Amino acid sequence: MGIIKASKLVHEYIRRDEEGNVESIQTAIDHVDIDVKAGDFIAVLGHNGSGKSTLAKHINALLEPSEGTLWVDGKDTKDPKNTYEIRRAAGMVFQNPDNQIIATVVEEDVGFGPENMGVPCEEIWTRVEESLKSVGMLKYRSHSPNKLSGGQKQRVAIAGVMAMEPKCIVLDEPTAMLDPNGRKEVLRAVHELNRKKGVTVILITHYMEEVVDADYVYVMDKGQVVMQGTPRSIFSQVEKLKEHRLDVPQITLLAHELKKSGLAIADGILTREELLEALEKLYHRKG
């Protein structure tokens, strides 16, 4: 069993009227099975309302399954006794950078998690320093978060989670409110954490470009996992992705269109370099 495993996970949002009668039931997650290996970089792709954020909240035990089971680090999220341990094992970064920073000074915010966990004072300081360094924000340690850019704030939020030394970190659309530069900054920081510290990353997003470097991809639509595999195998199925209202990266789309119009290019091209190589090969072959 991997670090995160879901078996037939179901989540229903139940809306009740004033007397407590059920008004409507909306199934946000519908019998989802996932299995994440420790140390992997996982991406969860999906359109708005596909249930991907609900899934993220389950991994942090912020929501409880309606049916099925979810194990995080071997612990069942349904048992309230495990909640605290699960939150220590799986950190979470949210979409809006402003609404998750608690303190008025960067370093104090990063120290908030360890403070809650009862870490001794000297160790908090070393953890704060290390995690700020790992996201490249050490020189802003005594700044006010209000003066930082969106990307910087989001990196502070990631540092705040890292200071709790989790085994796995869930990022729920961390770049949705950022400009292109901020997005790049945040993604670089996340990839670095995954590579250097071996933290398992679960990146939830609807930007295709962010998925390209992942180890494994789950595609969700209407609460179900509709596709899964390596980025290459996912993006080679352009038509199927479109069915689920998802775009493919521009380069992949271009390669796909070229192939459709008769050029002999492989499926699932992800980067500019790969396309260039494929085209060069084709050109040389033709002489």
Partner 1 sequence: MLRDITIGQYYPAKSVIHQLDPRVKLMATLIYIISLFSFQGIVGFLLVTAFLILIIRLSKVPFSYMVKGLRAIVILMLITALFNLFLTPGEDVLLQIWKLTITMEGVKNAVFMMVRLVYLIVGTSVMTLTTTPNQLTDGLEKSLMPLRKIHVPVHAIAMMMSIALRFIPILIEETDIIMKAQMARGADFENGNLIKRAKSMVPLLVPLFISAFRRADDLAMAMEARCYVGGEGRTRMKPLSYDKRDYTAYLVLVMFLVLVILARIIL
For partner 1, the binding residues (CB under 8 A) are 57, 60, 62, 84, 87-88, 91-92, 94, 96, 98-105, 107-108, 111-121, 124-125, 128, 145-146, 160-161, 164
The least distance separating partner 1 from the CB of residue 124, rounded to whole angstroms, comes to 5
**By C-beta, is 30 or 107 nearer to partner 1?**
107
Q: Are 147 and 140 in contact (CB under 8 A)?
A: no
Residue with smaller CB distance to partner 1, 118 or 287: 118
**Cβ distance to partner 1 smaller for residue 132 or 269:** 132
What's the closest the beta carbon of residue 192 comes to partner 1, in angstroms? 21
Q: Least distance from C-beta 231 to partner 1, angstroms?
A: 28
Q: How far is the CB of 73 from partner 1 (least distance, A)?
A: 14
Residue 19 has a CB neighbour count (10 Å cut-off) of 5
Give me the least distance between CB of 150 and partner 1, in Å please.
13
Output 164 or 199, the one with its CB closest to partner 1.
Answer: 164
What is the 3-state secondary structure of 45-98?
EECCCCCHHHHHHHHCCCCCCCEEEEEECCEECCCHHHHHHHHHHEEEECCCCH
Nearer residue to partner 1 within complex by CB, 200 or 228: 200
User: Of 218, 146, 161, 154, whose CA–CA distance to 183 is shortest?
Assistant: 154
For residue 164, what is the DSSP state?
T
Question: CA nearest 47: which of 278, 266, 205, 196?
Answer: 205
Which residue lies nearer to partner 1 by CB, 6 or 63?
Answer: 63
Least distance in angstroms from the C-beta of 138 to partner 1:
16
What CA–CA distance (Å, rounded) separates 204 from 250?
A: 20
CB environment 94-113: b (16+ within 10 A), e (fewer): bbbbeebbebeebbbbbbbb
DSSP 103-115: SSSHHHHHTHHHH
Q: Which amino acid, 217?
A: V
